[in-house]
Each structure stands twice: as structure tokens, then as C-alpha cells.
Amino acid sequence: MTPLLLFTLGDHPALQPALLAAAGAEAGHCEVRHFPDGESYVRVLSECAGRRTAILCTLHRPDELFLPLLFLAGTLRELGARSVGLVAPYLAYMRQDKRFLDGEAITSRQFAGQLSSAFDWLVTVDPHLHRYAGLDDIYSIPSRVVHAAPLLAQWIRAHLANPLLIGPDSESEQWVSAVAAAAKAPYQILEKIRRGDRDVSVSLPLLPARTGGTQAAEPTPVLVDDIISSGHTMLETIAHLRAAALAAPVCIGVHGLFAENADVKLMAAGAALLVTTDSVAHASNAIGLGATLAAAVAELEPQ
Ligand code: R5P
């Protein structure tokens, strides 16, 4: 069968070639740029009539990427593509899943409606499902969710001798418990109170008794979260750990958004290392998602 034609929007230096290879897909070519006044210009350069197509586009800067993404998907359809799928390793607008204050937009639902009308299917990685049981609650197209936990656990087993996993809030338990089980490591979940975008408090971890032995015998705290955005959740937790003179923590995020130089702030606050998947391109990417994403795509677009 003719291979899937995979277009890419945004920056995916490692993930794009890995996904193309693992999915046995052909690279689609397009030109996407902005006019001086900021409007988007989109041109499809590959022949796509009758082809199964998909767009790889992580949505960490959704407001900037969304319109070009819709224009590209719409153009593929106008040019006769048989199907148009979306591989969005990071799926934006999942956290506003409730009207917390009167009159607030429930952007998760509106965003899902827009994407569902533009695409035939969706593949993503660990979307922030808190008040929704699954993507089907808000997305009306078939979707597959890739879970990064086995890959995170594999990285931990290969690189850390004595890890103690810490999840910053109750929402993180779903990811942290799965990573801990696969890594055969202990874990604990803290309580978080968020008062504002950058105003977060996290409860004190139950710190293990110091053994007084060699440094190697001390556990390495490993902070695990789905998203590192402003970094304040992890910064708060690091402050507790450093105050208790525990070893410098390793910070692992499935999606490293690192808004407002959060990566620099985390290292300055005492993180030993930042580790993320390549869902969002960043120097901390140590865990590749290409093969796992390809398997999910194959379920929705069998060869
Ligand atoms: C929220 O519930 C998520 O699971 C993350 O904990 C949160 O998005 C992290 O955000 P920030 O890095 O801005 O504290």
C-alpha cells in the first residue's frame, strides 16, 4: 500500500525522522510562513490526492500553531487527501477542564471541537486527563493515547541506582504510580495548592531517614510530572528537598514546555538533571517517542 504521507509543522528535529522511519511513512513537504502582518501562508508541495496523510505538530505554542495547522489540514482535504490525521505529542488546552470561575471558557472542550472538525483521527501522548475520563469525552474523532510511563521507567532503570519517585499532586499519581511500578521503585504523592499561574505550594515530602552511609546509598529523589510548564510545581518541591539536604533531584517531565526559562530556574534551584521526552524539542530530551507513536498511528491508519 502507498505509505502514509506525513507532514510536519513546527520543530521536531529528532522526532520527525524517528517517526517517519518507525511508521514507514513518506515525508510530505509544505511551506508555512507568516506574512509581514502576521497572517499565515500555507502551501502544500507534495502530491496528496487520494493519499492517507497526517500532520506531526506538537501543540506547546498552540495559539501560534493552531491556525497554520487548520489551514494545512484544510488544504490537504481540498487537494483530495483521503484522510488527514493529527499526531500531536503534546496536546494543549487540556488543563482548563472546568469553569473554575464564573464566565471562564472551558477551552479544553472548545479546542477539542475545533480539532475534531479538522481531522479524521488524533494520536497524542499522556494528555492531561483529570476531570475527563478519556479523550472521547471531548474529542469526537478516533484517538489513541500513547503512555510514556514504560519509557520513563526504562530511562530510570538504566540511569539511576536508588530512585525515590515523587509526584507533586494527586493528578500526577496516575503517571507516577505507573512509572514506579515499571521501574520497581518506591513513590510518594504530595499535595499541591495552586493559587495562581505562578503561585503554587506543595506539601512536604515524607523524607526517608538519612542512612548516614555513603552518598551512593542515599536515594535519589526523582520528581515526575506530566507537564513542566512554569516550573513552579517542581521549584517548590525542590526547595523542600534541598532544605532537608537530600540529594539533588532529577526532574522528569513527559512534556517539557519550560515557559519563562523554567529550565534555567530549575537548574539554578538545585535540580541535578532535567529529563523529558521529545514531545517538545528541548535540550533535556532523552526519551524518544518515535516508535511508540508509530505503533499508535498504525492502529488508526493500518498500512
Ligand atoms: C497540572 O496539574 C500538571 O499536572 C502539572 O503539575 C502542571 O502543569 C505543572 O505546571 P507548572 O510547571 O507551571 O507548575
Residue 215 in this model has a pLDDT that exceeds 60: no
Q: What pLDDT digit, counting tens, does each position of 59-80 carry?
A: 999 999 999 999 999 999 999 9
Ligand 1 pocket residue status of 231, Cβ below 6 Å: yes
246: pLDDT confidence band, cut at 50, 70 and 90?
A: confident
For residue 259, the model assigns a pLDDT of 97
Ligand 1 pocket residue status of 12, Cβ below 6 Å: no
In whole numbers, what is the pLDDT of the chain averaged over residues?
94
Ligand 1 pocket residue status of 97, Cβ below 6 Å: no
Give percent of the chain with pLDDT exceeding 90. 84
Residue 138 in this model has a pLDDT that exceeds 80: yes
For residue 212, the model assigns a pLDDT of 46
DSSP string, 39-57: -EEEEE-S--TT-EEEEE-
Q: Which domains does the chain have, with CATH numbers?
A: 5-147+288-300 (3.40.50.2020), 149-278 (3.40.50.2020)
Ligand 1 pocket residue status of 10, Cβ below 6 Å: no
For residue 209, the model assigns a pLDDT of 47
Which of 126, 229, 232 for a ligand 1 pocket mutation test, highest count of atoms within 8 Å of Cβ?
Answer: 229
Q: What pLDDT digit, counting tens, does each position of 25-50 carry?
A: 999 999 999 999 999 999 999 999 99
For residue 1, the model assigns a pLDDT of 81
213: pLDDT confidence band, cut at 50, 70 and 90?
A: very low
Residue 267 in this model has a pLDDT that exceeds 70: yes
Atom of ligand 1 nearest to the CA of 169: 6
Which of 91, 228, 260 for a ligand 1 pocket mutation test, highest count of atoms within 8 Å of Cβ?
Answer: 228
Ligand 1 pocket residue status of 116, Cβ below 6 Å: no
Give percent of the chain with pLDDT exceeding 70. 96
Q: Which residue has the CA at smallest separation from atom 10 of ligand 1?
A: 229
Q: Tell me the CA–centroid distance for residue 62 and ligand 1, in Å.
A: 17
Ligand 1 pocket residue status of 219, Cβ below 6 Å: no
Q: What pLDDT digit, counting tens, does each position of 174-211 carry?
A: 899 999 999 999 999 998 888 888 888 888 777 654 44
Ligand 1 pocket residue status of 233, Cβ below 6 Å: yes
| Cell 510530505, located at residue | 28
Residue 52 in this model has a pLDDT that exceeds 90: yes
Question: CA 128, 95, 41 angle in degrees (round to 5)?
Answer: 95
Ligand 1 pocket residue status of 171, Cβ below 6 Å: yes
For residue 303, the model assigns a pLDDT of 72
Q: Which residue has the CA at smallest separation from atom 5 of ligand 1?
A: 227
Ligand 1 pocket residue status of 223, Cβ below 6 Å: no
Q: In terms of C-beta density within 10 A (0-12 exposed, 13-18 middle, 19 or more buried), how is residue 209 classed?
A: exposed
Q: What pLDDT digit, counting tens, does each position of 88-132 carry?
A: 999 999 999 999 999 999 999 999 999 999 999 999 999 999 999
For residue 201, the model assigns a pLDDT of 86
Contacts of 60-68 with CB under 8 Å at 24 or more apart are 60/90, 60/92, 60/255, 60/257, 60/280, 61/10, 62/92, 62/93, 62/111, 65/9, 65/10, 66/114, 67/40, 68/9, 68/32, 68/40, 68/42
Ligand 1 pocket residue status of 237, Cβ below 6 Å: no
pTM reported for the whole predicted model = 0.94
Give the residue ranges of DSSP H helices in the chain: 15-23, 62-78, 107-118, 149-159, 173-183, 232-243, 262-269, 290-300
